[in-house]
């Protein structure tokens, strides 16, 4: 699956900055799906399931 | 909460060490930096790995990855004004400027056609929007073999 560099940059900005917070916890599947959906990463490939 | 306060402190220490040195901290740095025992540090590393907060090298307590950072050289060096970091993949090469909010430049080659590729970020924006980034593995399987991913 390929995505544009612009989409990957948008994903990076949503995915990574919270890692520097002391109370960071792994993202839930629901949170991950919300991030993907928000930048148009949809379909079976981007489905994380339950 | 999945992580204890100590595990969170170890995790953040690892990230800060990567940011400051572009390297992963050896376990001695963790024990000295946080004034904890070696056994305590090892337990935290294992707990963090079990929840995919980092990756250890096989059969060791050496840190391999704390995404987006790699402790070993990769095909995705991320040059910044201060240090050159190594990212685990093309996505992570953008993850480093995202997490550090810093300008970056990555020079690599297309894994498909071997053409040189340069991409990065300046003032919060991509320096070039050309090209695509390939994901070999769907997200639900990222951790089945994270080294391959």
Is the CB of residue B25 less than 8 Å from the CB of residue B14?
Answer: yes
User: Burial, B59: exposed, middle or buried (Cβ in 10 Å; 0-12, 13-18, 19+)?
Assistant: exposed
Residues of B with CB under 8 A from a CB of A: 1-3, 8-9, 11-12, 15, 51-53, 67-68, 90-91, 94-95, 97-99, 101, 119, 121, 126, 128-135, 138-140
What is the CB neighbour count within 10 angstroms for residue B139?
20
Rounded distance between C-alpha atoms, residue B18 and residue B69, angstroms? 7
Question: Cβ contacts (< 8 Å) between B12 and chain A: which residues?
Answer: 20, 22, 24
Picking from A2, A9, A45, the nearest residue to B94 by CB comes out as A9
What is the band of B149 on the pLDDT scale with cuts at 50, 70, 90? low
Q: Which of residues B148 and A20 earns the better pLDDT score?
A: A20
Nearest to B9 by CA among B65, B48, B63, B39: B48
Q: Is the pLDDT of residue A25 over 80?
A: yes
Question: Cβ contacts (< 8 Å) between B11 and chain A: which residues?
Answer: 24
What is the band of A48 on the pLDDT scale with cuts at 50, 70, 90? confident
Question: Cβ contacts (< 8 Å) between B142 and chain A: which residues?
Answer: none
Q: Is the pLDDT of residue B147 over 80?
A: no
What is the band of B148 on the pLDDT scale with cuts at 50, 70, 90? low
CA distance B41 to chain A (A): 17
CB within 8 Å: A2 and B98: no
Picking from B8, B97, B101, the nearest residue to A23 by CB comes out as B8
B1-5, B73-77, B105-109, range with the lowest pLDDT: B1-5
Question: Cβ contacts (< 8 Å) between B139 and chain A: which residues?
Answer: 32, 36, 45-46, 48
CB within 8 Å: A36 and B139: yes
DSSP B9: H
Q: Is the pLDDT of residue A35 over 80?
A: yes
At residue B110, the pLDDT reads: 80
User: pTM for this structure?
Assistant: 0.92
């Amino acid at each position: 699956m390929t995505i544009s560099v612009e989409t990957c940059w948008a994903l990076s900005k949503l995915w990574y900055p919270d890692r520097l917070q002391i109370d960071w916890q792994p993202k839930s599947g629901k949170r991950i799906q919300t991030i993907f959906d928000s930048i148009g990463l949809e379909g079976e490939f981007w489905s994380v399931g339950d | 909460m999945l992580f204890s306060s100590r595990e969170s402190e170890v995790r953040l220490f690892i990230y800060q060490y990567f940011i400051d040195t572009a390297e992963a901290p050896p376990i001695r740095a963790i024990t000295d930096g946080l004034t904890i025992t070696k056994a305590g540090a090892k337990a935290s590393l294992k707990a963090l790995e079990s929840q995919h907060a980092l990756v250890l090298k096989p059969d060791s307590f050496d840190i391999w990855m704390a995404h987006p950072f790699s402790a070993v050289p990769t095909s995705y060096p991320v040059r910044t004004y201060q240090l050159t970091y190594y990212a685990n993949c093309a996505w992570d090469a953008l993850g480093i400027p995202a997490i550090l909010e810093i300008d970056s430049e990555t020079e690599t080659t297309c894994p498909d056609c071997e053409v040189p590729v340069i991409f990065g970020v300046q003032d919060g924006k991509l320096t070039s929007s050309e090209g695509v980034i390939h994901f070999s593995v769907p997200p639900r399987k990222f951790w089945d073999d994270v080294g391959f991913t």
